[in-house]
Structure 1
């Protein structure tokens, strides 16, 4: 089974200001350490990672040297790659930002980071839009909505993703208090951006508690979301299959059930295209690719949609791939990953370890992918 790639960044000094009574650690870490405060971020991270120990053989972490992650991963026996080292003896915000950049470039499916609101701000400054991240709470103050409710909860949510559970993606706010004002007795919180974070997703049996999921209603919801989000001048490639055909019908579009069609500005501009025709339509033109999974099997590329060739995929960009599937269809996989078989091993390896799946109105799940 292929390894699941996770990024890990630990802010070793997160939380040290709290026990010292500094209301935070920003700019006060050295003073807190001088006062005898013991850093706790590593132990908080250890608590999260302990949940993943039974899956150790399935994981490969990417991290920075020493206290930023590698030291703890070595102690716990997790396989990992070290992609950098902090610039000084004590890590700084610039080290966190650099680590975010390098871990993303290495293609992690999820970026775990341990810290507080200051760390979340550093992550937000460097992270690419749409990169799933999850905070392990280790700071003094946690105003941001990008942290799990506890270190163990962060581990449980990550475990669910690795094991193929449905994990919904949402937008979480990054907020931070003005610590100088806080020390003067004033509470001032500011918004610093948003991050894409996983939340606990619903398994099919949870959906059934409120009634059986209706595919017709789900497709209507997805159509409403897509219609509200059309980008002018952008081409949307609809892959084959009843899910995408039903989505198109809800948009008032006549597409081919088993073919590939191209939509632009709310109308079909090409029906049942060949690979060569599709490449000519997307080369040099901003495009999105919509595909679905084969029920019970899980292939999204390479089965019944060979028109979507490696050069088409490269032209569109893997970051513009969107999988459309109901929770019911995903449940038929019974936790098995989605699959790609583009015909080129190098391209297959470039796919992320987890992809975004549209499952309802403004609802996305993060789901594992394999080759």
Structure 2
């Protein structure tokens, strides 16, 4: 037994209940969802993951919680099981998840596999040791956190790689969630709760978030939170566009959607400035420029923000240009570079290169800025 792979396993049996009955989540509404006819699916999602390692079941032991939180499914599939926690009632709660994680902490686990959504990830994060490797099996309505496999089968394939002794790197991934009550009222409030250690297998482990109208709103909030969290005492030149507008909204400031504003110490200094006014008000100060791209075209300078003159850009400096964009917008470029068309060919040439684009909270991609005619 000492040489067996030690798999911790927790199922949130009520994860995802709210989705099929249009409750936009399951946090705090499980009984309502059940009354509306929702059927638990989390165990089926975990089954799909575990089926990938059935040929190896003699090589590991499952440490889990009683009943629907893991024991029933594992015994049904023929795994060797040890039970460490008994839920308080038939209808489990977030507290049961947290208590199960604490109970399993008495064992040194090679991997803690759990089925749920973002709420479940938060509960696991609240109790898990920061050194414990975890992986989520997606079973919830909201899956914005980066700790889940892209599908249940994908989570199982990562576990299979570990069972086969393949070299799998580890990375820290964000635990994200939104306020479901606000979400049901049409307001998206994103929050990052922390990080957990997960297998770094990009084919099978999902990015933090990507695509879709509701998710894009969440991403804009995340991008804004990242920019605001990193703000220093520089004078910030806030460019035009809805992505930059999200940063201004995060700051609680009035924004000129199609203009350029100045912000310092998280306060509004001036609004809707001309090119000349920008030069006058930014002299002899440390500067940062926050800009985004025009969707479908990729221009970051020279389209809709001519107030950002070549003289101002030179004053800012390439290293102080902060590009913000959703991955959806970047993906729509189909690999085409971001474009600078400042009207000064020498400056455009100097701005060419790879930039770190802010695509979420602690989430970035490297993307090329180029002038295709050069």
Instruction: Give the CA deviation at 1:62.
Output: 0.3
Cα distance between partner residues in 1 of 2:28 and 2:93: 10
**Partner Cα distance (1:51, 1:201) in 2:** 18
Give SS of 1:21's match.
coil
Judge conservation of contact 1:177–1:190 (CA < 8 Å) in 2: yes
2:136 counterpart SS class: strand
Match of 1:150 in 2: 151
SS in 1 for 2:96: helix
C-alpha displacement of 1:201: 8.1
Partner Cα separation in structure 2 for residue 89 and residue 70 of structure 1: 14
Q: State the alpha-carbon separation in 2 of the partners of residues 140 and 168 from structure 1.
A: 28
Partner of 1:77: 78
Cα shift readout 1:197-254 (whole Å, capped 9, x = no counterpart):
112289xxxxxxxxxxxxxxxxxxxxxxxxxxxxxxxxxxxxxxxxxxxxxxxxxxxx
Aligned to 2:169, what secondary structure does the other structure show? Answer: strand
Q: Give SS of 1:83's match.
A: strand
For 1:119 and 1:22, the matched residues in 2 are separated by: 17
Cα deviation 1:163-189 (Å, max 9, x = unaligned): 110111000100101111111111111
2-side partners of 1:113 and 1:38: how far apart?
19
Q: Distance in 2 between matches of 1:76 and 1:157?
A: 19
- Correspondences of 1:48-63 after superposition (within 5 Å): 48-63=49-64
Question: In structure 2, how many angstroms separate the alpha carbons of the residues matched to 1:51 and 1:111?
Answer: 16
Q: How far apart, in 1, do the equivalents of 2:68 and 2:202 lie?
A: 32
> What SS class does the counterpart of residue 195 from structure 1 fall into?
strand
Rg comparison, structure with higher value: 2
CA deviations over 1:277-329 (Å, ceiling 9, x no partner): xxxxxxxxxxxxxxxxxxxxxxxxxxxxxxxxxxxxxxxxxxxxxxxxxxxxx
1:131 aligns with 132
**SS where residue 159 of structure 1 aligns?**
helix
Q: Secondary structure at the match of 1:157?
A: helix
1:14 corresponds to = 15
Query: Moved runs in structure 1, 4+ residues, more than 6 A?
Result: none
Which residue is equivalent to 1:227?
Answer: none
In 1, Cα distance between equivalents of 2:35 and 2:200: 38
Q: How does 1:48-127 map to 2 (within 5 A)?
A: 48-127=49-128
SS at match of 1:18: helix
Distance 1:149 1:104 in 2: 26
C-alpha separation between the residues in 1 aligned to 2:12 and 2:57?
23
CA contact (8 A) 1:166 1:200 kept: no
Note the residue ranges of structure 2 that are not aligned, 5 or more in a row. 204-374
Q: Which has the higher contact order (CA 8 A, sep 6+)?
A: 1
Which residue does 1:350 correspond to in 2?
none
1:38 is matched with 39
The DSSP-based 3-state class of the residue aligned with 2:45 is helix
CA contact (8 A) 1:117 1:174 kept: yes
SS at match of 1:200: coil
Give the match's secondary structure for 1:6: strand
Q: 1:89 Cα shift?
A: 2.0
Partner of 2:197: 196
How many angstroms apart in 1 are the aligned matches of 2:147 and 2:13?
Answer: 19
Q: How far apart are residue 130 of structure 1 and its match? A: 1.3
Please tell me whether the aligned partners of residues 16 and 25 of structure 1 are also in contact (alpha carbons under 8 angstroms): yes
How many Å separate the matches in 2 of 1:104 and 1:111? 10
Q: Deviation at 1:59? A: 1.1
The CA distance in 2 between the partners of 1:57 and 1:22, in whole Å, is 41
Distance (Å, rounded) in 1 between the aligned partners of 2:131 and 2:15: 25
- Is residue 165–residue 201 contact of structure 1 (8 Å, CA) maintained in 2? no
Following TM superposition, by how much is the alpha carbon of 1:105 offset from its aligned partner in structure 2, in angstroms?
1.2
Kept in 2, the 8 Å contact 1:17–1:140? The answer is yes
Q: How has the CA–CA distance of structure 1 residues 84 and 68 changed in structure 2, closer, same or farther, with 3 Å as cutoff?
A: same
RMSD: 1.3
Q: Which residue of 1 aligns with 2:315?
A: none
Deviation, 1:104, is: 2.1
Secondary structure class of the residue paired with 1:185: coil
- Counterpart-to-counterpart distance in 2, 1:201 and 1:25: 28
SS at match of 2:89: coil
1:140 is aligned to 2:141:
yes
- Mapped to 2, the partners of 1:119 and 1:200 lie a distance apart of 21
Q: Counterparts of 2:138 and 2:194 in 1: how far apart (Å)?
A: 18
Matches within 5 A, 1:219-234: none
- Name the CA distance, whole Å, in 1 between partners of 2:128 and 2:85: 17
